[in-house]
Amino acid sequence: MKKAIFTLCAIAIGLVGKAQIPVYQDETKPIEERVKDALSRMTMEEKVNMCHGQSKFSSPGCPRLGIPELWMSDGPHGVREEIQWSSWSNAGWTNDSCTAFPALTCLAATWNPAMASLYGKAIGEEARFREKDILLGPGVNIYRTPLNGRNFEYMGEDPYLASTLVVPYVQELQKNGVAACVKHYALNNQERQRWNIDVIVSERAMYEIYLPAFRAAVQEGGAWSIMGAYNKILGTHACHNDLTLNKILKDEWGFDGVVVSDWGGTHNTLESALNGLDIEMGTDNRPDKRRTRVFQAKDCYLGDDFLNLVRQGEVSEEVLNDKAARILRLIFRTAMNTQKPYGNMDYAAHSKVARTVGGEGIVLLQNNAPKKGEKALLPIDPTRYGKILVVGDNATRRLCMGGGSSELKVQHETSVLDAMKEKYGSKISYTLGYQAGRTMYGSVEEVQQSIVDSLRNTAVAMAKEADLIVFVGGLNKNRNQDCEDGDRLTYDLPFGQNELLDAMLAVNPRVVTVLVSGNAVRIPYPDRMPAILQSWYIGSEIGPTVVDVLCGDVNPSGKLPFSFPARLEDCAAHSFGDIAYPGDGVKVEYKEDILVGYRWHDTKKIPARYPFGHGLSYTTFAYGKPSISGKTIAADGTLSLTLDVTNSGSREGKEVVQLYIGDDKATVLRPVKELKGFQKISLAPGETRQVTFTITPDMLKYWSEDAHDWVAEAGKFTAYIGSSSTDIRGKVTFSFE
């Protein structure tokens, strides 16, 4: 309503005569001219007032000048339901449901920028329809440990993959006049002790691993806002960190947008003023009044205390003007942008997007015959099976609930069991098998052993009589699973699933395992589990999407965006003792440095159970021998690498052709190879397509701490072409001079 009033006022002013419109209200003028004009009209108090929240999810504008407030919503998988002004309780609205899109791990697993574009456009339409100015997402923190409770909100372990997919998401979202708020900047790689843990990391690891996706979001995606993280970085909180916010984000990268604190992530007025924070959100400095319904400037670090520092000359007015200018720029791009589309809440169209993205993101981890002489279990041929038993809590659980700030109030959510019944009718029977408990965020519910035994015994008895078992397990969004503000306690499958699988496989080897999770898990019986599908949190359309792949209507084409270590200790972050994870309670040291994920597995020769980039299909692809356009690349030159890829199977399918490059003899530590390109192609049976990659000098560089710049050393390099980081189908060598 307030935004409508502001718009009507602007129109009314325009009717009086265009010459009388203040510059800051004239959308025909360049934004920088409008910002300068608005600043000149504002008082010091009005500028400060824009620098902190006024409610849980809004910050003030300048009412005297008709400049509206900013309204924010949690994301990044859907637009969160409305909550109360200054309480985390829901507001009780009946028109604030949404479409739940797949979690960002699933988007990353598509390896398809076109899917990121679809995703960003659709979620932007819903955010705009709900009159949001800022969507808090997407998240691009790097997957460092499979125990991180918030990995499901991010885009995997590789900076190149995350960088490539975040750009179209941000661009399409912002075309709706809704700002992306890319999070959590930076090095937020664990939820355990997240409020104060101090990340000790090398400059090189920051630039090569943990910052590239943020940089791409800013410089290529044009992100209008960034959210700071809770943790400290090299001694200073990330929400007011001079190195990451001023020196890197704003100076080196030229970011012209707004830095928003994570909620409650601000701790100091002077640091916040000087170290790059623009809008402080969620602060409550009154321990005795945490439930108050009134936000006041005196209670915010960037409120009255900030104003006093400026008045006293301890903080220059230039600093205040920079913050106010950034906020005004954001308001002109969003809340005061009358040219933006109206948005829409088209559940049918957006559910189709969710199903399409989910279908491309599901990963077929393995698909073997259960017995010698039999066919692989997938895709399910209904003529082979009279009785299909569905087992597992995740077959019926509402997986859009829980997880912390990403919890969604969905217009609909179709379970795997319901979709299996829709597809296979009376062939389907169901039993729970294990029970995870219907817990709320922040609580843990224990299940009595007698219940565990009863559920397992029932499942085993029914498994004996079934022709095929579809076990839907994995993790969920309870605390200490895939959930904010707490990490997983174990790498194993929880709730007795290992024992349940063991018992069912012992009586019937025809078990298809569907893992629902945003994290890698330890596969308990890899040699006994014939078919395993990694399905992620797919959102509103989880059931139909999973069944699309199970039945073969959709040929799986997802590839893992992170490695599945065979054991937790095979993961780099868990190879140096507690100081490397979870830390000593004060700090955590990234001792693996740049060797994250597949870089560690390759370089240390520690095979992953399922490598980065892995994903099977119901068809097969033959790779031709790669060729390269020259043997040497100059500093200002390029090389072309080409190869043919053929669908050598009997089904239409999509393949992700992956380019990795390695420096064969470097003077500094470098991984064996690093992802530098990929293309997802669709091929009919028997079809051949030529794939071309352009190799540039930038692909050969590492970050030099001595030069504080990207450097490529002269010498020999190898380009690897693969279907995964370990399934290398061809390679060529070349030199850099």
Question: What three-state secondary structure class fits 632?
Answer: strand
Strand, coil or helix: 734? strand
Q: Which long-range contacts (CB under 8 A, 24 or more apart) does 704-707 make?
A: 704/204, 704/668, 705/202, 705/203, 705/204
The label of the residue with tokens 């997240």 reads: 194
Q: Which residues in 188-209 are b (16+ Cβ under 10 Å) and which e?
A: bbbbbbbeebbbbbbebbbbbb
In the β-sheet with 632-633, what is the strand arrangement from edge to edge?
632-633, 728-736, 715-722, 653-663, 674-683
Q: List, in order, residues 6 or more apart from 400 with CB less than 8 Å away.
A: 78, 100, 407, 408, 410, 413, 537, 539, 540
| Phi-psi label, residue 496: left if phi above 0, alpha if psi -120 to 50, beta otherwise | left
Residue 322 burial (CB < 10 Å; 0-12/13-18/19+)?
Answer: middle
Q: Is 644 a catalytic residue?
A: no
Q: State the Cα–Cα distance between residues 132 and 471, nearest whole angstrom.
A: 39
Q: Give the C-alpha separation, 205 to 201, whole Å.
A: 7
Is the separation of the CB atoms in 77 and 358 below 8 Å? no
* Structure token pair of residue 245: 């916010």
Query: What residues form DSSP beta bridges with 73?
Result: 135
The structure tokens listed for 205 are: 């690891």
Q: Which of 133, 158, 262, 663 is catalytic?
A: 262
Helix residue ranges per DSSP H, 334-394: 347-361
Nearest to 158 by CA among 105, 234, 233: 105
Phi-psi region of 593 (alpha: psi -120 to 50; beta: other; left: phi over 0): left
d(CA 59, CA 71): 7
CA distance linking residue 716 with residue 665, whole number of Å: 7
Which residues contact residue 112 at a Cβ distance below 8 angstroms, ignoring those fewer than 6 apart? Answer: 360, 680
Nearest one of 394, 349, 302, 227 to 50, comparing CA atoms: 302
- How far apart are alpha carbons 336 and 70 in whole angstroms? 10
Torsion angle (degrees, nearest 10) of CA 381, 382, 388, 391: 50
Q: Note the helical H segments in 130-229.
A: 159-174, 203-205, 212-219
Question: Annotated catalytic sites, by residue?
Answer: 262
